[in-house]
Amino acid sequence: MKNDDLRDKTCALCESTTDLSVYEVPTNNSKRRDLDVVLCAKCQAQLNKKEELDSRHWQCLSSSMWSETPAVQVLSWRMLNRLKKETWAAECLDVMYMDDDTLVWAKETGDHDNDDAVELHKDCNGAVLNTGDTVVLIKSLDVKGSTLNAKMGTVVKNIRLVENNTEQIEGKIEGQVIVILTKYVRKQGA
């Protein structure tokens, strides 16, 4: 399925009709077919741990878990497991049924063993940082391997998030791209 074919579609999990795109359900088995489902941006962001979990949003799983589409069942089961501290999610897991092959697929990434904690890039005040944000240095920093000294109060525009380290961002200061620790920046406008 292509993103162009999404007119008259709804999110497979929450039934939203806005901001839809095709999502490939993660698997460790290259022989699996029918991995693609249509999801809204909110479901995708929370599935991919790019946004804090909103348990009210996920109440929709009590319906989507009964889907006949294995990929939707897998996503529902994984999210219910991440939310299993919530009474309603634990109750849904107790009554949910999947065939053995679909359950193996649901377990194969190990995502169900993770808790609902989401690790996001945050500034010194706890404001969530996103790619493209502008930040201000709250401390003067010596740049390793360079004579550059980034002064407190320096504005760094259009930052990039370091993908596998929530404590680091990249930004350009005096024409040089450097890695900056998030604890030394304040998001501008936050």
Residues 74-89 have pLDDT tens digits of 999 999 998 988 999 9
Average pLDDT over residues 115-133: 80
Q: Helices 100-107 and 70-82, interaxial angle, to 10°? A: 50
Cβ burial, residue 105 (10 Å; 0-12/13-18/19+): buried
What average pLDDT is seen over the chain? 87
The residue ranking higher by pLDDT, 162 or 109, is 162
What is the pLDDT confidence band of residue 113, given thresholds at 50, 70 and 90?
low
Residues 17-74 have pLDDT tens digits of 999 999 998 887 767 777 899 999 999 988 888 888 888 999 999 999 999 999 999 9
DSSP calls for 136-151: EESS-EEPTTSS-EEP
What is the set of domains in the chain, with CATH numbers? 3-113 (no CATH), 135-187 (2.30.30.40)
Q: Model-level pTM greater than 0.85?
A: no
Contact 38, 67 (CB under 8 A): no
pLDDT of the residue at 77: 95
Residues 142-185 have pLDDT tens digits of 878 778 888 899 999 999 988 888 899 999 988 888 899 999 99
2, pLDDT greater than 60: no
The sign of the torsion formed by the CA atoms of 53, 54, 57, 62 equals: positive
